[in-house]
Amino acid sequence: MAAAAEGFQVRLVPEDEYTHDPGTAENYNESMYFNVFDAGQRAGAWFRIGNRPNQNYAEMSMCVYFPDGRVGFMFARPAISGNAEMNAGGLKIEVVTPFKELRVTYTGELLVMKEPLQMADPKVAFRNNPRLPCRMEITYTGLSPMYGGEVLKADGSPIEIDPEKSFAKAHYEQHCAAKGFIECDGVRLEIDGHGLRDKSWGPRHWQAIEWYRWCPMNFGPDFGMMFNVMSDGKGGARPSGMVYRDGVYDDVIACDLTSTWDENEYQTDLTAKIETKAGKHYTVTGKMLSLIPLRNRRTTPDGVELTTRITEAMTEYHCDGKVGYGMSEYLDQIIDGRPMGRLAGH
C-alpha cells in the first residue's frame, strides 16, 4: 500500500470494494475502472462505471481496441436510484472476493469505428458508424498487493475537502490477470491478458485538475507499472505511481516524462525516466497504437462552459528489454482550443 504523507494515514479495508455512503455532496462519484490487454492479439479494452447517486445518474463507459485497428466505444448516463451497486447502462461489476476476484459483464451496443478520431465530435462519430450488439464477460484476478486507499488524518478522522475542488477523497489500484471474452456482432474475441483496475470515491468534478498523464502498463504477471504526472495547480507538476515487481510495489518518486504530438495535439509517443523509493531507475518508452479522444463538459453556476479532453490510447511499452501493453490517458482542460498540459510543456 502507498505510504501516507507525514501527519496522515491511509486506510483500506475489504468493505471498500463495495459502495459507500455518498453523503450530501451533490457531485459525489463512486467509480470503478478496469483495463485489460492481450499481448498475443495486440487487443485491449477498458470499462468504467461512475455512480453519481446524488445527481440520480451514472457515467458508463466501455471501449474495445480490436486487433484489426477498429475501436468500439459506448457511453451512457443512465438514471440510477441510490448507490447500492455498480450496475448501469448494461455494464455490471460484481465483487466475488474482495481484493482477489471481480467480474465485469456488459450487454448492449458498441459504436464500432474504423476512424476513432471521429469521437472528437461525438455527433459525427455516432452518425457515421454502426452500433453493433455486444456481450462481454471478463474475470479479474488480483496479482499484486493493493495500492492506495482513503487518506485520513493521523488520528483517523476524515480530511475536510471542498467538494467543488475535489477529484476524489479515496483511490486504490491493483495489477491483475484478466480472462474472458468480448463478443461483437456475433464475432467472439477471447481475452487472456493482464491489466490494472482502480476504484475511487468522493466528490468529483472532472475540471478540478488542470491536466494529468496517467500511464498504467503490464509486462507480464510479475512486472507492471503505473506512473502519473499531474499539475500541481501552481505551474509545476508532481509525479506519483508504483512499479510492481517480484510481488511487491515500489513507489515512484520521480518521473521525467516527454511526449510527442500530432497535428491535433494528441500524444503519439512518450519517454519516461523513472526513479523509485528503493533507488531503482527505469526508462520506459511508449508508442500509441490506437487513440480515441473523449470529452466532458460542464457549465458553472455563473454560466461559464468548461471543457475537459481525455485522450485514451492503447499503448505499446518497452522497458528493461521487455514489451508490454497498457494505456496512456492524457487529461487536459481546454483553454482557447489548446490542452493545458501541452501549453505547460507536458
Which domain range does residue 10 map to? 1-204
User: Does 183 share its domain with 275?
Assistant: no
User: Does 5 share its domain with 122?
Assistant: yes
pLDDT of residue 3: 55
Residue 23: other Cβ atoms inside 10 A:
13
What are the distances in angstroms from CA 298 to CA 82, 121, 207, 303?
A: 23, 16, 8, 9
Q: What is the pLDDT along the chain (346 residues), one digit of tens a residue?
A: 555 555 678 899 999 999 999 999 898 999 999 999 999 999 999 999 999 999 999 999 999 999 999 999 999 999 999 999 999 999 999 999 999 999 999 999 999 999 999 999 999 999 999 999 999 999 999 999 999 998 777 766 676 665 555 446 789 999 999 999 999 999 999 999 999 999 999 886 766 789 999 999 999 999 999 999 999 888 889 999 999 998 999 999 999 999 999 999 999 999 999 999 999 999 999 999 999 999 888 777 787 788 899 999 999 999 999 999 999 999 999 888 899 989 887 8
User: Does 261 share its domain with 187?
Assistant: no
**Using CA atoms, how far apart are residues 315 and 147, in angstroms rounded to an integer?**
22
User: Does 174 share its domain with 190?
Assistant: yes
**Using CA atoms, how far apart are residues 327 and 162, in angstroms rounded to an integer?**
30
Domain end position, chosen among 204, 230, 257: 204
User: Does 19 share its domain with 55?
Assistant: yes
Domain end position, chosen among 140, 172, 204: 204
pLDDT of residue 302: 80
**Using CA atoms, how far apart are residues 185 and 254, in angstroms rounded to an integer?**
45
User: Does 192 share its domain with 219?
Assistant: no
**Using CA atoms, how far apart are residues 196 and 237, in angstroms rounded to an integer?**
24
Residue 140: other Cβ atoms inside 10 A:
25
User: Does 55 share its domain with 70?
Assistant: yes
User: Does 291 share its domain with 310?
Assistant: yes
pLDDT of residue 345: 79
Rg of the Cα atoms in the chain: 19
- Count how many domains the chain has: 2
Q: What is the CATH number of the domain that holds 61?
A: 2.40.370.10
User: Does 169 share its domain with 308?
Assistant: no
For 251, the grid coordinates are: 513507489
User: Does 152 share its domain with 187?
Assistant: yes
User: Does 172 share its domain with 242?
Assistant: no
3-state SS of the chain is CCCCCCCEEEECCHHHHCCCCCCCCCCEEEEEEEEEEECCCCEEEEEEEEEEHHHCEEEEEEEEECCCCCEEEEEECCECCCCCCEEECCEEEEEEECCCEEEEEEEEEEEEECCHHHHHCHHHHHHHCCEEEEEEEEEEEECCCCEEEEEEECCCCECCCCHHHCCCCEEEEEEEEEEEEEEECCEEEEEEEEEEEEEEEEECCHHHCCEEEEEEEECCCCEEEEEEEEECCCCCEEEEEEEEECCEEEEEEEEEEEEEECCCCCEEEEEEEEEECCCCEEEEEEEEEEEEEEEEEEECCCCCEEEEEEEEEEEEEEECCEEEEEEEEEEEEEECCEEHHHHCCC
User: Does 26 share its domain with 170?
Assistant: yes
Domain end position, chosen among 186, 204, 222: 204
Model-level pTM? 0.92
Determine the straight-line distance between the first and last CA of the chain, rounded to whole angstroms.
28
